[in-house]
């Protein structure tokens, strides 16, 4: 049985290839590959990383008798799934030691080969500042643009950008049916970046083009003055008194929010008499 460490480097930098490594410390065995800067976008980013690691595993003759310690980063999500589905023994781990050093120095080597000044080094794992320096160095000279990663093939697939949640106090317009989405009702939010600007689109849950990848919705159906009111649980924006007990709710507290005519009901979760929605419909 061998223990293998699987680590990456350079993923946070907008330039130069990500390095992927497969390393055994005892005996000392090192396999490493670079991700391509761009590829045909039929293959997702995670799938590309998985294919490359599996290629190294074959070359290393790694087997089901071996144990794998894998970095938990999202570049390896596809690999994590594949290892489980194929019955390998593995776990995620915070990577230190040889695998980390090998991956980092392979990434640095790419920079040096491209002519990046050798004196500027990563310090105390401050990746953000270091990558920023690398990016400004590239922008100094148009011929260096070829070192940029193709970010489009590295983007998350569209369907991962849909989140089911509770709407805030704003009424939104559904991007599909164009009808209004009431405040404090279930809503699907689509988030993306266009030319560096954040953009949002909203849908009724039944109008969403994809089943939302994340579900942050917490509904609240409760009795209020003899009738059933539906709302959602959201973190409170501004301090306010609880509509039931009158005690002050602090900002950030998860609280029941609901609209009742023009009034807003807002209060401690435990102050409300919840009713089961399924029973109501039945």
The answer to whether 92 and 72 have CB atoms below 8 angstroms apart is: yes
Residue 180 or 216 with smaller CB distance to Zn ion: 180
| Binding to Zn ion, residues 146-185 (CB under 5 A) | 174, 176-177
Quick one: which of 34, 60, 236, 244 contacts Zn ion (CB under 5 A)?
244
Residue 56 or 242 with smaller CB distance to Zn ion: 242
| Binding to Zn ion, residues 200-239 (CB under 5 A) | 204, 207
- Helices marked H in the chain: 45-59, 77-85, 97-114, 127-139, 277-281
Quick one: which of 166, 212, 231, 267 contacts Zn ion (CB under 5 A)?
267
> Going along 108-253, which residue ranges are E strands?
162-166, 172-173, 180-181, 186-194, 197-203, 214-215, 219-224, 227-235, 240-241, 248-249
Q: What is the smallest separation between the CB atom of 102 and Zn ion, expressed in angstroms?
A: 51
Sign (positive or negative) of CA dihedral 107, 112, 118, 120: negative
Q: What is the smallest separation between the CB atom of 243 and Zn ion, expressed in angstroms?
A: 8
Residue 95 or 174 with smaller CB distance to Zn ion: 174
Report residue 244 as tokens.
């039931």
Q: What is the smallest separation between the CB atom of 188 and Zn ion, expressed in angstroms?
A: 9
The answer to whether 17 and 110 have CB atoms below 8 angstroms apart is: yes
Residue 32 or 167 with smaller CB distance to Zn ion: 167
Residue 43 or 177 with smaller CB distance to Zn ion: 177
Q: Taking CA 261 as the corner, what is the angle to CA 255 and CA 262, rounded to the nearest 5 degrees?
A: 80
Stretch that binds Zn ion, among 147-155, 213-221, 225-233, 242-250 (CB under 5 A): 242-250
The answer to whether 154 and 16 have CB atoms below 8 angstroms apart is: no
Binding status of residue 43 toward Zn ion by CB under 5 A: no
Q: What is the smallest separation between the CB atom of 12 and Zn ion, expressed in angstroms?
A: 37
CB proximity list for 66: less than 8 A, separation 6 or greater: 1, 2, 3, 4, 88, 89
Residue 207 or 236 with smaller CB distance to Zn ion: 207
Q: What is the CA radius of gyration of the chain?
A: 25
Quick one: which of 51, 236, 271, 275 contacts Zn ion (CB under 5 A)?
271
Quick one: which of 245, 250, 254, 277 contacts Zn ion (CB under 5 A)?
245
Q: What is the smallest separation between the CB atom of 100 and Zn ion, expressed in angstroms?
A: 48
Cα–Cα distance between 278 and 275 in angstroms, integer?
A: 9
Q: What is the smallest separation between the CB atom of 266 and Zn ion, expressed in angstroms?
A: 9
Contact set with Zn ion (CB under 5 A): 174, 176-177, 204, 207, 242, 244-245, 267-268, 271
């Amino acid at each position: 049985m061998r223990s293998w460490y699987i680590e990456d480097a350079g993923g946070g930098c907008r330039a130069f290839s990500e390095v992927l490594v497969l390393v055994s410390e005892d005996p000392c065995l090192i396999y490493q590959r670079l991700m391509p800067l761009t590829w045909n976008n039929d293959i997702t980013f995670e799938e590309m990383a998985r294919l490359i690691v599996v290629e190294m595993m074959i070359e290393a003759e790694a087997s089901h008798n071996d144990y794998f310690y894998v970095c938990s980063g999202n570049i390896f999500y596809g690999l994590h799934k594949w290892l489980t589905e194929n019955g390998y023994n593995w776990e995620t781990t915070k990577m230190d030691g040889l695998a980390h050093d090998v991956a980092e120095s392979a990434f640095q080597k790419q920079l040096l080969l491209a002519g990046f000044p050798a004196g500027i080094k990563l310090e105390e794992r401050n990746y953000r500042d270091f990558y920023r320096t690398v990016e400004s160095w590239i922008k100094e000279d148009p011929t260096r643009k070829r070192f940029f990663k193709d970010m489009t093939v590295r983007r998350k697939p569209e369907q991962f950008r849909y989140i089911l949640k509770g709407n805030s106090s704003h009424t939104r317009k559904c991007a599909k049916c164009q009808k209004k989405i009431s405040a404090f009702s279930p809503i699907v939010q689509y988030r993306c970046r266009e030319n560096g600007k954040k953009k949002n689109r909203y849908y009724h849950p039944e109008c969403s083009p994809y089943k939302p990848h994340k579900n942050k919705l917490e509904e609240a159906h409760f009795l209020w003055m003899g009738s059933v009111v539906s709302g959602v649980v959201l973190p409170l924006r501004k301090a306010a008194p609880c509509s039931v007990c009158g005690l002050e709710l602090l900002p950030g507290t998860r609280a029941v929010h609901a609209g009742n005519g023009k009034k807003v009901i807002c209060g401690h979760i435990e102050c409300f008499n919840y009713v089961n929605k399924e029973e109501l419909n039945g």
